[in-house]
């Protein structure tokens, strides 16, 4: 096989096709995680009733531990807070919300959406080996972009009109980065 821009572009793109697709989907999911987050998909809601005589001042680590034990939440507490009359306890895979004036609340249990949730992990994983692989992927994307500039010849080549599209493609992210954020 002859080493040309077209062959290099094609073969690297084929090799990274799965990762390109996974990164594309996971990027879209993460952009909209306030609406739907595949890493925290609600699959169970349980209504609860706590004693009404609870006071905001009584919410502390022991109080949260008692709720955790009472409702058999086998999960690690991440944080808890009281906002007005609302108690919120966040666990790794559960959230508890309780109205402290009425004692009514709910426990939401989450799980990761199969495949889609794992894809989003690719964007946030910080393991040493994944970072190395992601860096190699970043360099490969630069090679794909660079070789792609030299595949087409003539009027539709990079030097014909491609540079204009590339310039606009660079300007759009800069507008969002500096003017709209």
Chain segment 77-125, per-residue pLDDT in tens: 999 998 888 999 999 889 999 998 898 999 998 888 788 777 777 777 7
Q: What's the pLDDT score for residue 77?
A: 92
- Between CA 115 and CA 117 the distance in angstroms is 6
Q: What's the pLDDT score for residue 41?
A: 67
- What are the angstrom distances between the C-alpha of 177 and each of 123, 137, 170, 174, 180? 20, 23, 11, 5, 6
pLDDT in tens, 166-178: 888 888 888 888 8
Contact partners, residue 26, CB within 8 Å, separation at least 6:
119, 120, 121, 122, 123
Which segments of 71-154 does DSSP mark as H helices, in order? 116-124, 128-148
């Amino acid at each position: 096989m002859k080493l040309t821009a077209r062959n290099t572009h094609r073969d690297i793109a084929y090799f990274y096709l799965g990762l390109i697709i996974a990164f594309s989907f996971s990027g879209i999911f993460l952009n909209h995680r306030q609406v739907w987050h595949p890493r925290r998909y609600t699959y169970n809601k349980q209504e609860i009733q706590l004693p009404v005589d609870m006071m905001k001042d009584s919410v502390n680590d022991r109080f949260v531990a008692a709720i955790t034990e009472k409702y058999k939440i086998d999960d690690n507490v991440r944080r808890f807070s009281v906002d007005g009359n609302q108690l919120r306890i966040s666990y790794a895979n559960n959230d508890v919300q309780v109205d402290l004036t009425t004692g009514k609340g709910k426990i939401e249990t989450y799980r990761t959406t199969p495949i889609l949730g794992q894809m989003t992990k690719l964007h946030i994983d910080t393991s040493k080996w994944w970072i190395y692989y992601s860096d190699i992927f970043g360099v490969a994307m630069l090679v794909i972009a660079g070789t792609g500039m030299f595949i087409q010849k003539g009027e539709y080549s990079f030097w014909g009109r491609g540079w204009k599209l590339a310039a606009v493609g660079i300007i759009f992210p800069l507008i969002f980065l500096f003017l709209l954020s």
